[in-house]
Amino acid sequence: TLLDYFLQGYLKSMVYANNLRTFDALRLNIERSNCDIRPELLHNVIENGIHRIRSCARSRDGHLNDVLFKT
């Protein structure tokens, strides 16, 4: 789903943001990162996904000039 795709990258960037030296540090970062996910963030992800889907439908398989893509 859209949220799964987003959360995979988001959590990875949060978990590995600092230099982890132990398994316990990794586990703690995972727990903290999961707790930091706010409902507003998830709402924004869904709204952005809806915007992109509507842009695709409007373009009828054409170019999406008004959508920014990150690489």
> For 17-55, how does the pLDDT look when each residue is reduced to its tens digit (9 = 90+)?
888 899 999 999 999 999 999 999 999 999 988 888 888
Higher per-residue confidence, 65 vs 49 = 49
Report the pLDDT value the prediction gives residue 43, as an integer from 0 to 100. 93
In one letter, which amino acid is 68?
Answer: L
Contact 48, 56 (CB under 8 A): no
Q: Where are the domains of the chain?
A: 2-59
Rounded distance between C-alpha atoms, residue 61 and residue 40, angstroms: 30
**8-state DSSP, 68:** -
Q: Can you give the chain as a three-state secondary structure string?
A: CHHHHHHHHHHHHHHCCCCCCCHHHHHHHHHHHHHCCCHHHHHHHHHHHHHHHHHHHHHCCCCCCCCCCCC
